[in-house]
Chain A
């Protein structure tokens, strides 16, 4: 189990909190304190809207250790509307209905259990198709 790691990443996993560069206005996710665009300090926290679109996707049939019970599942590169791209699982959607360019939004879901049945449940961001307003 990696308790400190999961605790350390809570703002990113639950809130999609990155950083904004005060010098060139780039939005950064994940936070890295040094702006990859202009090379200057970027330490202002910035919360992303969670809206974006699917840049690419695939379905995992042969998962790594720790994810066996969830396979098959669909992962995607999601282009956030503020610019950066994130890697995340898609949820609430059938894999054959996923399309490149599809609008998606962030939701918080269970990612996996770290350890046995007494282990830690890890929550974090996944993305689902944007719900149509009725």
Chain B
């Protein structure tokens, strides 16, 4: 296996892009990544996406995006793993380049969500859950997370207000990210009085949907020469699954797939939680931040909110998370999110994160969660 580096990144702002179709969004990110890498082509294209068939009535995104980016005739496929489709596409590109079958690849995550009505998007997102035994009973994706959060609060004694720092931190970081969907500061009071969606989850616990695309270009490390620019390597990449339905989990309050994938990624990179300089986690809902921190070994079981309450998750803290706004405030264009996380990690490691820069960031971690914890992919990136 060959070591793999990320030499190009590109992304669109997350927004309601009424003037752009799914192909145009993906193309914009791909062309930016090619330009950033100073290349005109790649050997393969992997498109991470969850909802194009349901919302845009468009599948076969591999061929479509290749054609619309001047890469007609290039090998290209769509990769789907619910909300972790983006990181899944990056991992497929990594495996292809590391194996030697492919010498360069782009992974682009794209999602076009504002094409449909709210209840249709809600129903489309619910396809990440068990259709016969969860969704058939009227459970929305928010409701599934609410079931977890309610039990978590009951079992560990946390109040709703204790989750506020996750959302406040995400919004504070998004303020200076021009690509973020929600660039507005919030405080404890805003959090407490936000509109209830599915108790105990209110509007400020939940990430907003949006349209967007992000892309990375991967090549073998051995083909790069040191020329003053930092080389960003993928030092760890691992994926794991759990039961698709929450009711089938051994412990619904523990993200076993996050634990397994994080442990593998740590071991590949030869580091542990203490060495991680920042963590782009999957804060689709504030409860997911807590569960992810615990499963990856950054917090004790049931103690995820403590890290946030102690101020350790801010840009100046011991473990900055969601440094560019996270899903909560940068936005959650579902199948694109995992690639946004990796693009943002590359910005941090290049020292190009502007006002959001984590001082001297050398090792960054990203984690993309599909479904309510059923498909989880962890990456560790290192600046050489």
A interface list, Cβ under 8 A from B: 5, 9, 12, 30, 36, 55-68, 70, 73, 75-77, 84-89, 100, 111-112, 122, 124
B interface list, Cβ under 8 A from A: 118-120, 122-123, 126, 130, 132-140, 142-143, 146-148, 150-151, 154, 196-201, 243, 245-248, 252
Tell me, in angstroms, the Cα distance from A112 to B136 when the chains sit together. Answer: 9
User: Given A55-B151, A56-B151 in contact, is the A30-B140 Cβ separation under 8 Å?
Assistant: no
Asked whether, in the complex, the Cβ of B118 is within 8 Å of the Cβ of A62, the reply is: yes
Question: How many A-B contacts if CB must be within 8 Å?
Answer: 104
Q: List 22 A-B contacts (CB under 8 A).
A: A9-B136, A30-B133, A55-B151, A56-B150, A57-B147, A57-B150, A58-B146, A60-B138, A60-B198, A61-B197, A64-B138, A67-B138, A75-B147, A77-B246, A85-B248, A86-B133, A87-B139, A87-B247, A89-B137, A100-B150, A111-B136, A112-B138
Given contacts A36-B243, A56-B252, A64-B140, 9 further A-B contacts (CB under 8 A): A55-B151, A56-B148, A58-B198, A64-B122, A66-B123, A75-B137, A87-B137, A87-B139, A87-B245
Tell me, in angstroms, the Cα distance from A124 to B136 when the chains sit together. Answer: 10
Asked whether, in the complex, the Cβ of B123 is within 8 Å of the Cβ of A64, the reply is: yes
Asked whether, in the complex, the Cβ of A65 is within 8 Å of the Cβ of B247, the reply is: no
From residue A85, how far is it (CB to closest CB) to chain B in Å? 4
User: Given A58-B147, A84-B247, A85-B247 in contact, is the A63-B136 Cβ separation under 8 Å?
Assistant: no
Tell me, in angstroms, the Cα distance from A84 to B140 when the chains sit together. Answer: 21
For A100, what are the chain B residues with a Cβ–Cβ distance below 8 Å? 150-151, 154
Sort A-B residue pairs by CB-CB distance and give the 3 closest, nearest first. A58-B146, A56-B151, A85-B247
Tell me, in angstroms, the Cα distance from A55 to B246 when the chains sit together. Answer: 12
Asked whether, in the complex, the Cβ of B137 is within 8 Å of the Cβ of A62, the reply is: no
Main secondary structure of the interface of A (DSSP, over half): strand
Partner of B143, one of A36, A60, A66, A84: A60
From residue B72, how far is it (CB to closest CB) to chain A in Å? 37
